[in-house]
Amino acid sequence: MSNQSYRDSQFLDGLSGEELFSMQIGLTYRDFLVLPGFIDFNPSDVELETRLTKKIKLKRPFVSSPMDTVTESSMAVAQALMGGIGIIHYNNTVEEQVAEVSKVKRFENGFISDPVVLGPKNTIHDLDRIKETLGFTGIPITADGTRNSKLVGIVTNRDIDFERDRSIPVEKVMTTEVITGKAGITLKEANDIIKKEKIGKLPIIDKDGKLVSLVSRSDLKKNKEFPDSSKDENKRLRCGAAVSTLPESRDRVAALYEAGVDVIIIDSAQGNSIYQIEMLQFIKSNFKNLEVIGGNVVTRGQAENLIGAGADGLRIGMGPGSICITQDTMAVGRAQATAVYQTAAHAAKYDVPVIADGGISNIGDIANALAIGASACMMGFMFAGTSEAPGEYFYENGIRLKKYRGMASIEAMKAGGDKRYFNEGQKVKVAQGVSGSVVDRGSILNFIPYLSLGLRLSFQDMGFRSVQDLHQGLREGKLRFERRSESAQAQGSVHSLYSYSAPSLRAE
């Protein structure tokens, strides 16, 4: 913190956080700005390390939401590699959710544990579809087209580039003399084979010839080091999972605990309930050292109840998400910035971190959420369009998109999403969310560095070097804010141009 005279109280413009949020009106992230501070450091000097819960630290304040169009194992692995964490959704069976968590906990950097495979009877057209939707070729061919059978060949671009008939079975064009590595090989040994043999993909097989994993030359080139990875005490990637408050979730928690999950999020749209309190108490008394995040809450009273029941962190937000219509449909909720500030101020008395969940659509929203007390930001919209999100890309009007749906949309509720809304089993379903689509944002491995740099630049403008310093400045009234009118908001965005090119959120 600088000692410049700029910090002297007589030069403080604007409002403190307490003054800003004492107004009897709900505020969103766009309703205020942080006033600039004094810069005496570079963006690279900003430290983004933060706390997810009382005990779990992250190098980046990013959490991917437990939604079935956002977080499964691929997203959770990528988030953990980049210093954040992914929360696996529970629109699935216990066994399926446990399998997703296990993939993250067993992940070895550089080894693809669940490669895309085809069978001998698949056609070249199937390969074309994989290349169009997933962006790669070089597909292992197994005896029955699953990852649990014997490797019989591999198909690469050079095998099919000049084939005009795309209906030909891959067994007629695949390479059958495949260079492989044995299970247990190290990443360096695999890399040495790839370099020596000048190949793009190296299948790893067990003693029976069954495919175990795959090593890709392109992955080795881009995944050299992840020094900021979120890892547990056994050097495994961290991973979270969501559960409901239903009785069946007690068995789900037990299974997830055995799989090594690091943190459980009790996923309720309105978390201040006897059901969640009982679930919190059950988990804390039966699974030692398992961190639990309660929510969602938006008031001090709600926060007090869940903290009293043992919550190690709180998830804040009711209705601000881009696919959520709770506030319109139920007339219940709270403006997100006000919710984050009030709950964070209360939770800080107990040293409990809060996660701002919803209403984030750019870097500025993340910065504002952290500035008013959040320790991390949970995002669905921001991560849904990435290559690691579940689902396939499709095109609409020439734009590459992915499906994104609220867990309270009719579509998601039919798949089990209504478990978080206390209306499971109802024949008539009242939607509190919608289904939509979002644009392609590329890979998380490129997107997180983009978000991180933008956040560092924002911290530099504010004059704070870390999340901890920012929160101290908030508590001491040194971090200053100012409300802005609708016309100020309009002027603070693009205006007065005949035409312009909008910056893309897709990081290259």
- Is there a single domain that holds both residue 96 and residue 192? no
> Which of 166, 191, 225 lies at the terminal end of a domain, its last residue?
225
Give SS3 for 360: coil
- Is there a single domain that holds both residue 279 and residue 317? yes
Which string of b and e fits 124-147 if b means at least 16 CB within 10 Å? bebbeebeeeeeebbbbbbbeeeb
Determine which one of 51, 252, 315, 420 is catalytic: 420
- Is there a single domain that holds both residue 181 and residue 307? no
pLDDT of residue 438: 85
Name, of 51-55, 401-405, 486-490, the range with top average pLDDT: 51-55
- Is there a single domain that holds both residue 219 and residue 234? no
pLDDT tens, 265-323? 999 989 999 999 999 999 999 998 899 999 899 999 999 999 999 999 999 998 777 76
Q: Is residue 263 part of a domain?
A: yes
Q: Is residue 84 part of a domain?
A: yes
Determine which one of 324, 334, 377, 456 is catalytic: 324
pLDDT of residue 490: 84
> Which of 200, 225, 250 lies at the terminal end of a domain, its last residue?
225
CA dist 94 and 460 (Å) reads: 44
Burial class from Cβ neighbours inside 10 Å (0-12, 13-18, 19+) for residue 250 reads: middle
Q: Which domain holds residue 358?
A: 40-107+230-478
CATH of the domain at 330: 3.20.20.70
Half-sphere exposure of 228 (CA within 13 A, CB side): 19
Q: Known catalytic residue: 324?
A: yes
Binding residues for IMP: 322, 357-359, 380-381, 404-408, 432
Q: What number of other Cβ atoms are within 10 A of residue 262's Cβ? A: 26
Cα 470–316–90 angle (5° rounding)? 125
pLDDT of residue 5: 41
pLDDT of residue 410: 61
Q: Between 185 and 369, name the one with better pLDDT.
A: 369
Residue 398 has pLDDT above 90, yes or no: no
Residue 74 has pLDDT above 80, yes or no: yes
Report the range of poorest mean pLDDT among 210-219, 230-239, 284-293, 348-357. Answer: 210-219
Q: Is residue 14 part of a domain?
A: no
- Is there a single domain that holds both residue 96 and residue 116? no
Report the range of poorest mean pLDDT among 289-293, 418-422, 496-500. Answer: 418-422
Total-model pTM: 0.77
- Is there a single domain that holds both residue 190 and residue 58? no
- Is there a single domain that holds both residue 411 and residue 287? yes
Residue 195 has pLDDT above 80, yes or no: yes
- Is there a single domain that holds both residue 148 and residue 278? no
Question: How many residues are given for the chain?
Answer: 508
Q: Is residue 283 part of a domain?
A: yes
Q: Is residue 491 part of a domain?
A: no
pLDDT of residue 62: 98
Q: What number of other Cβ atoms are within 10 A of residue 155's Cβ? A: 22
Residue 435 has pLDDT above 90, yes or no: no
Report the range of poorest mean pLDDT among 88-97, 172-181, 252-261. Answer: 172-181
Residue 56 has pLDDT above 80, yes or no: yes
Which string of b and e fits 396-413 if b means at least 16 CB within 10 Å? eeeeebbbbbbbbbbbbb
Q: Between 372 and 176, name the one with better pLDDT.
A: 372
- Is there a single domain that holds both residue 330 and residue 410? yes
pLDDT of residue 414: 59
Q: How many domains, in total, are found in the chain?
A: 2
- Is there a single domain that holds both residue 97 and residue 165? no
**Average per-residue pLDDT in the chain?**
87
pLDDT of residue 163: 79
pLDDT of residue 1: 47
pLDDT tens, 467-480? 999 999 999 999 99
> Which of 225, 258, 277 lies at the terminal end of a domain, its last residue?
225
CA dist 182 and 211 (Å) reads: 10
Binding residues for K(+): 319, 321, 324, 486-487
CA distances from 41 to 151, 230, 433 (A): 55, 26, 43
Residue 6 has pLDDT above 50, yes or no: no
CATH of the domain at 217: 3.10.580.10
Q: Known catalytic residue: 506?
A: no
- Is there a single domain that holds both residue 467 and residue 334? yes
Q: Is residue 341 part of a domain?
A: yes
Amino acid residing at 404: Y
Q: Is residue 310 part of a domain?
A: yes
Q: Is residue 24 part of a domain?
A: no
Binding residues: 267-269, 317-319, 321-322, 324, 357-359, 380-381, 404-408, 432, 486-487
- Is there a single domain that holds both residue 265 and residue 412? yes
